Structure 1
Amino acid sequence: MVRTAVVQLLLFTAAITAAMLFAGTVATEAGLYAQSVDDEGDRDVATLDTEIAIINHPAAGTTYNETGDELTIYVKNVGDGSLEPAAVDLLIDGEYVRPNETRVLEGTDPVWREEAVLELTAPSSLEPGTHRVVVGTNGARDRLEFEHRIAYWLSPAGQNGTADSCDAETCTVSLNETDDDGLTLEMATDPDQPNESVSYASSNTTVATVDPENGTTDAAGTDSTTLNLHETGETTVTLDVGWDTDEIVIRVEE
């Protein structure tokens, strides 16, 4: 009987120990789950409080700098909390690009606070056409679609009075060989931009003047002006469509 009682006591003790271990495990798992839920809740609240807005003007022509192969994006923090500038993700046409620099424009505070604007600059080489930028941080995102368009001089080579070495950047012409009609300078846009106002200017009106000084691109996005030559020398002729400019150097010789 004593042996039976001892066995029963040992079994009872083992059962109690197992139950306590199980209860401890359940309590630990419950605690970890509760902490996980709290952390997830905090993340969800932070995400809900985060809101950003890209404020670039898509038609202004200032988003992309073709000369420097650089994209500049302005993002405003319109949410209810501060954000970390370095935690911003940038996609250009679906490809992840690491910004060269992130800078909060308001004051000297590096923290991206509510209503502050963050300037992102990133390396990019874009062809003319439509492009898309996505900026994301802390679960919030915004998208910008803009058109990279250019205006440029066409080469005047082959026109009356021009030399064979003329291209779209420089051209040497003979004052004596140019007829009374002057030198026609043609410009184009890419993609084609019809009905765009174009202004023309000569940097040295003693050497040459443009006529007309203003024009409008046709259905193919092209226009032209006439350069009237007056004496030998050099002048730079500039076209300006508001969102882009281009120059051509004209050298007038005897």
Structure 2
Amino acid sequence: MEFSPFNKVVKLCIQGMSAEEQGKPEEAVRFFMQGWKEADNDHEKFLAAYYMARHQRTTADTLKWLETALSHAIKLNDDTVKSAFPALYTRIAECYEKLSDPVKSRENLELARLYKDNPSDKGPFYHGTKANLQIGDVLTAGGLSNYKSEFKMNHIYFTALVNGAGLAAALAKGEGRERVYIVEPTGNFENDPNLTDKKFPGNPTRSYRSENPLKIIGEVTDWVKPDPEELQRFRDKLENSKGDIIN
């Protein structure tokens, strides 16, 4: 399942996180539990269980929800959730340490180290923009941010989710048509630290960045355009954001 901010369970998790930020833990739990009850697949169950684990009163119950989240993540076996494994295994290790089980704690810490860094994603990869480009053109770092116009970016950004690139294209500055290009990294790349292990576990949007150029090798035209109302909410959120960009 492709991660989408418009998914019903993702929306409920976002509402739960908002309640957390407002100091309303009981309300947050209601949103997360509703997400768990409405989850129809392993990806949705993974997310809902992950957040339920944050609101348990005992270490044993926290561990139960974390291992439930892990079991659904393992069933998926895709790069959307693999990036969450280091943090997930680390939290499980901490639970076993508190429960006086150092053997299982060490086992999970070793698994966390095994999955850390070095994205295994093989693509295909996409870049969303309003620029009119051609196959063979090269995108390079050094441009101005779409979200903070005075900010010069040290990396070029891309994603393995076509609709995520479509959202980026819709949010991009400019008057041109929204375009989603298929791109090929020409060097090493890393998880986008602005999105990885932030509100959502791991790198669910499969968002990456590189100091090396991206080569355009094609264009996609059948991506799903975001609803205008949802898009406006994203624009409003970006305009009101006070967070710093990790450059």
TM superposition score normalised by structure 1: 0.17
Say which one has the larger Rg: 1
Structure with greater proportional helix content = 2
